[in-house]
A and B are shown apart, each in its own frame.
Chain A
Amino acid sequence: EVQLVESGGGLVQPGRSLRLSCTASGFTFGDYAVSWVRQAPGQGLEWLGFVRSKSYGGTSEYAASVRGRFIISRDDSKNIAYLQMNSLRTEDTALYYCARDPSRTSHCNWFDPWGQGTLVTVSS
């Protein structure tokens, strides 16, 4: 079964850092790009960025709202994608999902599947 599982969420103070992990199974992780998407409580979906597969350089792109604060990376030997979140703000409180792009291109496309999400709460 193709599966993604996020971990690393929790309560963190404003200004601090947190690293989320997205562990993949059931497919050749290195062949696919992975995105991070968040959903604030009761709100819609916000794409944060993605990391390409190594076939396309393993480079990342970000939404303006997190560029310079968040870093997306991957370790294909462990089948894990990471979201390093720095200088956290109260407005970063959300459920954070990772999702696979099944298209296997350099372009970020649609998402399938999604993980169940990990909750990040930024509060003093």
Chain B
Amino acid sequence: SQKIEQNSEALNIQEGKTATLTCNYTNYSPAYLQWYRQDPGRGPVFLLLIRENEKEKRKERLKVTFDTTLKQSLFHITASQPADSATYLCAPPTSGTYKYIFGTGTRLKVLA
């Protein structure tokens, strides 16, 4: 079955450093992949979308890569700030449907 894996362990980094989060998928090839941010007790918020024919996408301090050979997407936050502390979820759509599979998310904590 189609599966998404994110590092479920929390990631702690120092303010100003670059945070890198990993999303691996198996048993299918999504045409695109989305990343969301979720704060405690709130609904996820859309951040970025990357398509299979795009190697890299940027938005301000955020960068997403999509390696269809490795079946992996990386999410980078440069010059991280304590306000970036949240859980980050990757979500590719299920093939041929309007349904997304969400990873369990990686909790990022940026230390001041």
Judge: A and B partners, yes or no.
no
